[in-house]
Amino acid sequence: MRDAYAAALGIRGYRADAAQRQAIERLQRLYAELLEFKARRRNRLRKLLIHPDLPRSVYLWGGVGRGKSFLMDCFFDAVPYQRKRRVHFHAFMQEIHASLRVHQTQEDPLARVADDIAKATRLLCFDEFHVADIADAMILGRLLQALFERGVVFVMTSNYPPDGLYPNGLQRQNFLPTIALIKQQFDVLEVEDGTDYRLRSLVQMDIFIVPADAAADAELAAHFGRMAANAGKPGEIVVQGRQLPVRRVAPGVVWFDFATLCGGPRAQADYLEIAREYHTLILSDVPVMKREQGNEARRFTWLVDVCYKARVKLLISAQAEAADLYREGPNAQEFPRTVSRLIEMRGAAYLGLAHRVS
């Protein structure tokens, strides 16, 4: 784990941060515990005579830009498990609800779902653990308990301490046992204020790049490397049940072309799902939109509004400055509001805000 952390720092040109030291040491210890746990489980005689103690899970919390996801990803990449998974918590819970519908005719659907997860996954890493939905809140405790009983180990990152989860939620008193379970089963560590390299790199370099050309692509690729835990890969992602091609995608960061995201039939629900899943969105090749491109301009406005409300970092390459992207056409008189938001989203105050996943 320490070696993976040092290597990742070197690749990004970062220096070791004293504020992360406690978390690194705890993850290093969990790394060793997982290797020992795996060795014990492989010993069939010991497996029959002694049930090996499950390593304690880890819950990392702290403000935006403190390196929680970076630490978890270094740990995840280092652990030599085949049955491991790293997933955004919101996406995971969507899968859980879908699986519960599949098993709804069985006696205990949640137990069947836990069986399926435990067969495929021994180490489960959640990014942006945050409970905002009552449907999630009401099943989460039982799900975590079932997975602990089946030998699943967790590492979670969150912007909130356990006691700050599901604030002011409906029937929050029914969620308090889940908070108690987390505090009982997890080692809870705060990743304190340190150097916010992600914010520093964004503030120091403009994130609205003109013109949209090969040099802009290279600059966006450099930003992608700083914001993501790995280099990412091209491919497709599923949004509202449909495949969308992406230039590159990594946990928490996605890169689209304008034509893909705003050029075709897209709804606000598409943008809402993307904004919940990704804290950083890169959009390349935004054109100067003509009168007949009113639909594209409307979708672009929707996208900016959704990203703004979710506090998504929005990096753009465009053929002109924001004020010149759409001057004539349907609803052009409303576009200055979009321009104002794009300007605000380039500032340090906005970039320092935590991603809002609810």
Distance CA 312, CA 15 (A): 26
Q: Report the percent of the chain where pLDDT is more than 90.
A: 59
Neighbours of 131 (CB within 10 A): 22
Residue 6 has pLDDT above 80, yes or no: no
For 171-200, write each residue's pLDDT tens digit.
899 999 999 999 999 999 998 765 555 656
Residue 102 has pLDDT above 60, yes or no: yes
Residue 141 has pLDDT above 50, yes or no: yes
Catalogue the long-range contacts made by 10-18 (C-beta closer than 8 Å, 24 or more residues apart): 12/197, 12/225, 12/226, 14/195, 14/197, 15/195, 17/67, 17/194, 17/195, 18/194
Give me the chain's average pLDDT, please.
88
Residue 50: what pLDDT? 45
Start-end of CATH 3.40.50.300 domains in the chain: 2-190
Residue 48 has pLDDT above 70, yes or no: no
Residues 355, 88 contacting (CB under 8 angstroms): no
Q: Which CATH number applies to 2-190?
A: 3.40.50.300
Residue 214: what pLDDT? 94
Q: With cut-offs at 50, 70 and 90, classify the pLDDT of residue 203.
A: low
The mean pLDDT of 259-268, rounded to a whole number, is 93
Residue 12 has pLDDT above 70, yes or no: no
Helix (H) or strand (E) segment spanning residue 202: helix 197-204
Residue 109 has pLDDT above 90, yes or no: yes
Weakest-pLDDT range from 76-80, 88-92, 244-248, 343-347: 88-92
How does DSSP assign 25-65, residue by residue?
Answer: HHHHHHHHHHHHHHHHHH-HHHHHH--PPPPPEEEEE-STT
For 321-353, write each residue's pLDDT tens digit.
999 999 999 989 989 999 999 999 998 888 888
**Could you tell me which of 224, 218, 165 has the C-alpha nearest to residue 198?**
224
Residue 67: what pLDDT? 79
By CB atoms closer than 10 A (0-12, 13-18, 19+), residue 241 is exposed
Residue 318 has pLDDT above 50, yes or no: yes
Top-confidence residue, 155 or 106: 155
Residues 6+ apart with CB under 8 A from 154: 57, 58, 59, 123, 124, 125, 126, 144, 147, 186
Top-confidence residue, 25 or 90: 25
Distances (CA, A) of 142 to 110, 139, 205: 8, 6, 46
Enter the pTM of the model: 0.66
Weakest-pLDDT range from 16-20, 129-133, 141-145, 213-217: 16-20
Q: Report the percent of the chain where pLDDT is more than 70.
A: 89
Residue 9 has pLDDT above 80, yes or no: no
Residue 314 has pLDDT above 70, yes or no: yes
**Could you tell me which of 114, 168, 104, 173 has the C-alpha nearest to residue 138?**
173
Residue 49: what pLDDT? 45
The mean pLDDT of 140-148, rounded to a whole number, is 95
Q: In what order do the strands lie in the sheet with 253-257?
A: 208-209, 313-318, 280-286, 253-257, 242-250, 233-239
Give, in degrees to the nearest 5, the angle at Cα 17 between 13 and 18.
160
**Could you tell me which of 198, 185, 169 has the C-alpha nearest to residue 12?**
198
HSE-CB of 168 using CA atoms within 13 angstroms: 1
